[in-house]
Structure 1
Amino acid sequence: MGSTRNAVLKFLLNHQRSTINELARAVKISPISVRHHIARLETEGMVASAEERHGVGRPRRVYYLTEAGMEHFPGRTIRFTNRLLDELKETLPAEQFARLLDGMGDSAAADLAAASDLPSMTLDERLKLLKNWLTKEGFSVQVQRNENELIIKETSCPYFYVGQNHGEVCSIDKALIAKALSADPQRTSCLLSGDSHCTYTIPMAAIKPAAKP
């Protein structure tokens, strides 16, 4: 496979829903050339597209890797993971399957708590810890804050391709955020719903301050 097409696939690996213009800027070729490469990748079943809501006006078309596209990268086991979860979902009652995925989130949150002294940390320290932890998990994270609320945006998600079949995996990052901030984050947008990123919001008043020494 050519280097340009590999570059397109690699960019889509880390930016799951990208436009032609975004791809053109990333791989440094013209949009027309990108369309040519994308068309071939779609024919091979490695890339697919969808319309995405983007503010006012017409939806834009974004491109993303398919399961076959993900398997192009060494160490990616999306197909195996999906098959395993398919079997579990067929074998277990729905409530028990959901508890299993919730348990994975709780386990990840427990690891975060065990690696730090959350009660004594300031909000800035907890946000830094959370961002580093999510980054290690494979998320691309942006944090915004104003007087009223905290906003956490995930522009890429390591569970995106599994989540297309098993949306329950979204409980994992939510559990990490809840543990780090001792608050219940509300998901207001989601990559799996066609949004450009996942967004969690938390009222500033709901975040517990650090314990006094």
Structure 2
Amino acid sequence: MKNVGEARETPAGAPQEELATGERSTRNRVARSILDHGPSTVAELAGRLGLTQAAVRRHLDALVADGVVEARERRVYGARTRGRPAKVFALTDCGRDAFYQSYDQLAVDALRWIAQREGGSEAVAAFARARIAAQARTYRKAVEAAAPEERTEALAKALSADGYAATARSAPVGEQLCQHHCPVAHVAEQFPQLCEAETEFFAELLGTHVQRLATIAHGDGVCTTFIPKAAGLGISKNTTSQNTQNASASTAGRNPA
């Protein structure tokens, strides 16, 4: 998790910036303790971290507000004793994802297995296209509901909803679709078929050839796709196969991956 560290609570009178840093560090220690030991009570956390229960509650309140932890009743195995079960604090899925996960490596291993067992790079490309096809309905609905001149923007908003932090901006002879985040960038570094399938899909969806100018997977700061001004004047599900072929050819520019 970001900013995880071993730091004591900042004493009163410390500069505001130092105080804020100390607060974050201690809060991260609280979350890390829950990760290491499982759902925990306030008393258990205080004992493990050497903090007062009041301080632990304050940090837990902030973590709950941020969606990192949630309060729940402790699960009781066997016969339940009298009284209410103790309240414990557990990490949410969001909180768990803030710590290191090996999902990228798992995806790389899976794609490598597909390549080795099922037909090399073509099998990976088929998987990449199937993955995009599974997401196509939402994107297509958003684009087709927009006016022709607003369809790149509509696609950007749909991509942002899936975590791509996308924007659309004008260019001299068209538009640029910029994806400021790529959830699969680390995997795409080794399997550019993921980027190629995405580029083909953009072309099919927008009804014109498009050109990938830069990708995060290649080391650029943003994934940038150029869309000519002609895009949006005839977008439909029945886009010609020639447009898709042009899209593939256009990725042969600076960085098709």
Which deviates the most, 91-100 or 130-139? 91-100
Structure-2 residue corresponding to 1:204: 229
**Partner SS state of residue 4, structure 1:** coil
User: Of the candidates 41, 59, 73, which is equivalent to residue 99 of structure 2?
Assistant: 73
Shift of 1:164: 2.0
The verdict on how the C-alpha distance between 1:106 and 1:171 changes in structure 2, with shifts beyond 3 A counting, is farther
RMSD: 3.2
Structure-2 residue corresponding to 1:91: 117
Do the aligned partners of 1:122 and 1:210 also contact (CA within 8 Å) in 2? no
Q: Is the counterpart of residue 103 in structure 1 residue 102 in structure 2? A: no
TM superposition score normalised by structure 1: 0.56
Unaligned runs of 5+ in 1: 7-27, 30-70
Structure-1 residue corresponding to 2:163: 138
Shift of 1:108: 2.2
Shift of 1:139: 0.5
Larger RCO, structure (CA 8 Å, separation 6 or more): 1
Identity percentage over the alignment? 18
Shift of 1:81: 1.6
Deviations 1:13-55 (A, max 9, x none): xxxxxxxxxxxxxxx98xxxxxxxxxxxxxxxxxxxxxxxxxx
Q: In structure 2, what is the Cα distance between the partners aligned to 1:137 and 1:73?
A: 20
Q: In structure 1, what is the Cα distance between the partners aligned to 2:153 and 2:147?
A: 10
The verdict on how the C-alpha distance between 1:172 and 1:111 changes in structure 2, with shifts beyond 3 A counting, is farther
Deviations 1:135-193 (A, max 9, x none): 12211212111451111111211111211222211135324533442222210112222
Q: In structure 2, what is the Cα distance between the partners aligned to 1:126 and 1:194?
A: 28
Structure-2 residue corresponding to 1:195: 220
1:3-42 aligned at under 5 Å gives the runs 4-5=3-4
Structure 2 letter corresponding to 1:122: A
Structure 1 letter corresponding to 2:136: A
Shift of 1:209: 4.6
Q: In structure 2, what is the Cα distance between the partners aligned to 1:166 and 1:180?
A: 23
TM superposition score normalised by structure 2: 0.48
Q: In structure 1, what is the Cα distance between the partners aligned to 2:134 and 2:218?
A: 26
The verdict on how the C-alpha distance between 1:127 and 1:145 changes in structure 2, with shifts beyond 3 A counting, is same
Q: In structure 2, what is the Cα distance between the partners aligned to 1:146 and 1:98?
A: 30
Between Structure 1 and Structure 2, how many residues are aligned? 147
Shift of 1:79: 2.4
Do the aligned partners of 2:175 and 2:228 also contact (CA within 8 Å) in 1? yes
Q: In structure 1, what is the Cα distance between the partners aligned to 2:3 and 2:124?
A: 41
Q: In structure 1, what is the Cα distance between the partners aligned to 2:139 and 2:146?
A: 13
Structure 2 letter corresponding to 1:130: L
Largest Rg, 1 or 2: 2
The verdict on how the C-alpha distance between 1:162 and 1:145 changes in structure 2, with shifts beyond 3 A counting, is same
Unaligned runs of 5+ in 2: 6-19, 22-96, 237-257
Structure 2 letter corresponding to 1:112: Y
